[in-house]
């Protein structure tokens, strides 16, 4: 160990940088799922009365940047999973890539000490900063996996689950 | 802060105890999914050529306790997702509950400093202890979500995603 800062970092179960990379790795895989969907089915295909994958992605958009913005600013915002991001996959992918950059910028503003801080997001979801962000990620893994079933049901081979590049 | 140990803990992005509770919360939800399946469909129902949910659960069994056992012992074991746990939901639930206890016991043997240690599980999967355990959890969330689609497709209302009690 070179100094105290390194010792502190090496004692972390997960560092903020690893936590961000974990999230962005999952987001890269979700982006591949969006790409793998046929244009029409992305907006229309459904099983068992569930939402089309595009609607699930709109929920992810409503959580990621808005949620992190609240964590950083402390200002309560609206949870709105019905925002309009266009009606083409290309528009969704452009929004996705913008969010990737925004998430990196917001993450840099969350100090290490804040992960254990209590927050109440969108005026209703209570937890610590770390548990809230884990929820964002888990919720994305959950809906993306439903997209996997949609793709399989359409006869399309989805990307490997471990493909996070 | 009462003492140095508490200061150390409060500086963690996520503590080992929170990480365990995160895992066990997800496991409690997965257990509810197993319970929600009709007996027959748990072993037979499938969409798009995917495995029945029972086979996915066998994969989870092959990862959780065997993976943590390797992390604790350092001894390489086999990855075997085809082990026989019986042909009733009750047998799977009994194995699930045994694993819950075993996971708690194994977790207690992983010191805080070890989460950043490099491991190669089942002779092939490389990463840190923390990234490996996150993978165990993500993989469970992923397959459980596929079980959600199976249930919806069968006309069965699954438990809420946020229900981790």
Q: Where are the domains of chain B?
A: 23-109+121-153
Q: How confident is the model at residue B11 (pLDDT cuts 50, 70, 90)?
A: confident
Give the pLDDT confidence score for residue A6 in this predicted structure. 43
pTM, two decimal places: 0.94
Tokens of A42: 């992305």
- Closest of A50, A68, A32 to residue A163, by C-alpha: A32
User: Residues B163, B32: contact at Cβ < 8 Å?
Assistant: yes
Could you tell me which residue, A4 or B34, shows the higher pLDDT? B34
Give the pLDDT confidence score for residue A8 in this predicted structure. 47
Q: What percent of chain B has pLDDT over 70?
A: 94
| Chain A contact for B126 (CB, 8 A cutoff) | no
> What is the nearest CA distance from A15 to chain B, expressed in angstroms?
7
User: Across the interface, do B148 and A146 touch by the CB < 8 Å criterion?
Assistant: yes
Give the pLDDT confidence score for residue A53 in this predicted structure. 98
Assigned CATH for B23-109+121-153: 1.20.120.450
Distance, CA of A39 to CA of A88 (rounded, Å): 7
Distance, CA of A157 to CA of B16 (rounded, Å): 37
User: Across the interface, do B142 and A148 touch by the CB < 8 Å criterion?
Assistant: yes
Class of domain A13-153: mainly alpha
Give the pLDDT confidence score for residue B126 in this predicted structure. 96
User: Across the interface, do B47 and A153 touch by the CB < 8 Å criterion?
Assistant: yes
Distance, CA of B7 to CA of B20 (rounded, Å): 20
pLDDT at B33 over 60: yes
Give the pLDDT confidence score for residue A10 in this predicted structure. 52
Q: Which residues of A touch B47 (CB under 8 A)?
A: 47, 149, 152-153
Distance, CA of A131 to CA of A83 (rounded, Å): 25
Q: How confident is the model at residue B10 (pLDDT cuts 50, 70, 90)?
A: low
User: Residues B116, B129: contact at Cβ < 8 Å?
Assistant: yes
| Chain B contact for A156 (CB, 8 A cutoff) | no
B45: left (phi over 0), alpha (psi -120 to 50) or beta: beta
pLDDT at B24 over 80: yes
pLDDT at B80 over 50: yes
User: Across the interface, do B49 and A16 touch by the CB < 8 Å criterion?
Assistant: no
Structure confidence by residue, pLDDT tens digits, B116-155: 999 999 999 999 999 999 999 999 999 999 999 999 999 9
Mean pLDDT of chain B: 94
User: Across the interface, do B142 and A145 touch by the CB < 8 Å criterion?
Assistant: yes
Pairing of strands A118-121, A125-128: antiparallel
Could you tell me which residue, B95 or A6, shows the higher pLDDT? B95
Name, in order, each residue with C-beta under 8 angstroms of B159's C-beta and a sequence gap of 6 or more.
B29, B32, B33, B36
Q: Residues in chain A with pLDDT < 70?
A: 1-10
Q: How confident is the model at residue B3 (pLDDT cuts 50, 70, 90)?
A: very low
Give the pLDDT confidence score for residue B8 in this predicted structure. 47
Q: Nearest by CB to A14, which of B115, B146, B153?
A: B115
Q: Which residues of A touch B48 (CB under 8 A)?
A: 149, 151-155
Please give the average per-residue pLDDT across B48-53, as a whole number: 97
| Chain A contact for B22 (CB, 8 A cutoff) | yes
């Amino acid at each position: 160990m070179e100094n105290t800062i390194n010792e502190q970092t090496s004692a972390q179960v997960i560092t903020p940088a690893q936590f961000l990379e974990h999230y962005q790795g999952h987001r890269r895989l979700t982006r591949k799922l969006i790409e793998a969907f046929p244009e029409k089915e992305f907006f229309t295909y459904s099983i068992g009365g569930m939402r089309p994958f595009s609607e699930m992605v709109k929920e992810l958009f409503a959580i990621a940047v808005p949620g992190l913005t609240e964590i950083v600013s402390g200002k309560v915002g609206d949870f709105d999973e019905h925002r309009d991001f266009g009606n083409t996959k290309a528009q969704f992918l452009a929004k996705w890539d913008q969010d990737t950059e925004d998430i990196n910028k917001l993450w840099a503003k969350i100090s290490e000490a804040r992960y254990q801080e209590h927050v109440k997001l969108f005026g209703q979801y209570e937890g610590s900063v770390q548990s809230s962000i884990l929820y964002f990620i888990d919720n994305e893994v959950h809906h993306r996996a439903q997209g996997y079933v949609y793709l399989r049901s359409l006869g399309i081979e989805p990307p490997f689950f471990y493909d996070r590049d």
